Amino acid sequence: MFRVSLTLSALAVLAACATPQERCIRKGASEQTQILNKIKETEANITRGYAIHRQTVPETVFYSCRRVNDGKVVGYYPCPETYYRTIETPVSIDVKEERKKLRRLQDALPAAQSRAAEAAAQCRVLYPEKAK
């Protein structure tokens, strides 16, 4: 649990480092980014001949913790800690359908790139950055 909260804290700090303009541009390009990621995944599926299903599952490990009173160990108790791991399972695909899906994604990409460029231009107007 500590590791999860530490990771989330680190991500929050990194997100806070971005300027308002950078956050705006990233938000405006999210559709384009999603399409590009789906294109990469679909191309990999076609190359492999199968898809990969990813599932995150919890795994709890029990440790013995000491109960201390006045500096002396007075007993032990179980203290569970939950970790998460990702299981990858191959899934059969119809390569013909994956190729159609890839073409649709590739056809949708130019429009998404155009919208991302427009959003970036608006972000630069809304949140001008000072020269350093």
Instruction: Give, for all 132 residues of the chain, the pLDDT tens digit.
Output: 445 555 556 556 555 678 999 999 999 999 999 999 999 999 999 999 999 999 999 999 999 999 999 989 899 999 999 999 999 999 999 999 999 999 999 999 999 999 999 999 999 999 998 755
* Residue 3 domain flag: no
* Residue 129 domain flag: yes
In this structure, the answer to whether residues 55 and 113 fall within a common structural domain is: no
In this structure, the answer to whether residues 44 and 101 fall within a common structural domain is: yes
* Residue 86 domain flag: yes
* Residue 110 domain flag: yes
Residues 6+ apart with CB under 8 A from 83: 3, 58, 59, 60, 61
Determine the pLDDT at residue 47: 97
In this structure, the answer to whether residues 41 and 101 fall within a common structural domain is: yes
Q: Which two tokens stand for residue 101?
A: 């899906």
Domain residues for 119?
20-49+95-132
In this structure, the answer to whether residues 111 and 81 fall within a common structural domain is: no
In this structure, the answer to whether residues 88 and 55 fall within a common structural domain is: yes
Distance CA 78, CA 61 (A): 10
In this structure, the answer to whether residues 42 and 101 fall within a common structural domain is: yes
* Residue 105 domain flag: yes
In this structure, the answer to whether residues 43 and 61 fall within a common structural domain is: no
Which of 98, 97, 83 shows the shortest CA–CA distance to 7?
83
For the chain, the domain total comes to 2
Number of helices and strands (H, E) in the chain? 4, 2
